[in-house]
């Protein structure tokens, strides 16, 4: 790669960190036409990942069989400008809350918002699972920039130190609960909830008010009452809309005596919890 750098190429290299990915639309928006894209690939300035998606090579000829999911996520957020954030169990994992509970197999990376169709075609270290912004709509409450680094972040992510847009733990647990019962395990979420000792009551109240799901509100308090963390007594349940009537969530399950939702038997105490008496 000893060819002279044109101003357009220099601008590209200044904007695109090594290891990060962009698509044809991103390149075209910067005045790089298909002929130039082909030329840059031939000269080694960028490399084709899949059709329509390119990456700036890593230094010293470093090769990767799969792209680190963190680098791909930052490419979407910081280069492509996608309104998508890391959420649910993935955000809790990224913040260090549940890494010891990670299930075996390919990591599922939960993204909330709009992502390009080519994302699912990329060879990555994690399986991206996209979700619509349904639970909170377009309200970004509880979505923050975080500098937390995962143990698999790799060179490309560390070099530029761009923060990841991710749900705070209070929003992330609500997003994770929303996956019940079809796409998540009650037992696994119960173990996650056991470790959430440091949630912030004020932030929880804000998020519970913004949450659009009666199911999620009820389930959150089922877990909260069960684990009795210190922050639970600071939540004002009289201000929470739990909706009306029973909700059949688990076929053949047992109805919770306080929150009137059917659950696996292990989540239903034989005696109503005093902590949930205000619901």
Mean pLDDT, contiguous 10-residue spans, the chain (279 residues): 70 94 97 95 96 93 86 95 96 82 75 97 96 96 80 51 93 97 93 96 98 98 97 97 94 94 89 44
Chain centroid to Cα 12, Å, comes to 28
**pLDDT value, residue 148:** 55
pLDDT of residue 149: 52
Question: What is the structure's pLDDT at 5?
Answer: 63
Alpha-carbon gap, residue 144 to 136, rounded angstroms: 15
Q: What is the pLDDT of residue 228?
A: 96
Taking the CA atoms of residue 36, residue 75, residue 53 and residue 35 in that order, the dihedral angle to the nearest 10 degrees is -10
Cβ atoms of 46 and 57 closer than 8 Å: yes
What's the pTM value of the predicted model, to 2 decimals? 0.89
And the tokens for 166?
């991710």
Taking alpha carbons only, the member of 237, 263, 259, 260 closest to residue 250 is 263
Instruction: Give the residue extent of every domain in the chain.
Output: 7-61, 69-276
């Amino acid at each position: 790669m000893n060819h002279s750098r044109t101003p357009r190429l220099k601008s590209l290299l200044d904007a695109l960190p090594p290891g990060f990915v962009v698509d044809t639309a991103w390149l075209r928006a910067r005045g790089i036409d298909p002929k130039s894209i082909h030329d840059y690939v031939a000269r080694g300035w960028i490399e084709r990942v899949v059709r329509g998606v390119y990456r700036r090579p890593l230094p010293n000829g470093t090769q990767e069989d799969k792209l680190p999911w963190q680098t791909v996520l930052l490419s979407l957020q910081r280069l492509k400008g996608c309104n998508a954030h890391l959420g649910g169990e993935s955000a809790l994992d990224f913040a260090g809350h549940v890494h010891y509970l990670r299930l075996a197999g390919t990591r599922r990376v939960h993204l909330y918002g709009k992502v390009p169709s080519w994302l699912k075609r990329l060879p990555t270290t994690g399986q991206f699972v996209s979700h619509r912004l349904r639970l909170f709509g377009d309200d970004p409450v509880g979505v923050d920039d975080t500098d937390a680094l995962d143990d698999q972040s790799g060179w490309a992510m560390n070099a530029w130190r761009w923060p990841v847009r991710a749900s705070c733990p209070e929003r992330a647990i609500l997003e994770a609960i929303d996956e019940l019962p079809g796409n998540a395990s009650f037992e696994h979420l119960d173990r996650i909830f056991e470790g959430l000792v440091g949630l912030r009551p004020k932030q929880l109240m804000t998020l519970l008010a913004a949450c659009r799901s009666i199911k999620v509100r009820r389930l959150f308090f089922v877990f909260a009452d069960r684990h009795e963390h210190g922050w639970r007594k600071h939540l004002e349940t009289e201000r929470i809309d739990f909706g009306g009537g029973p909700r059949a969530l688990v076929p053949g399950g047992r109805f919770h005596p306080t929150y009137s939702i059917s659950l696996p038997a292990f989540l239903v105490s034989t005696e109503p919890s005093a902590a949930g008496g205000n619901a």
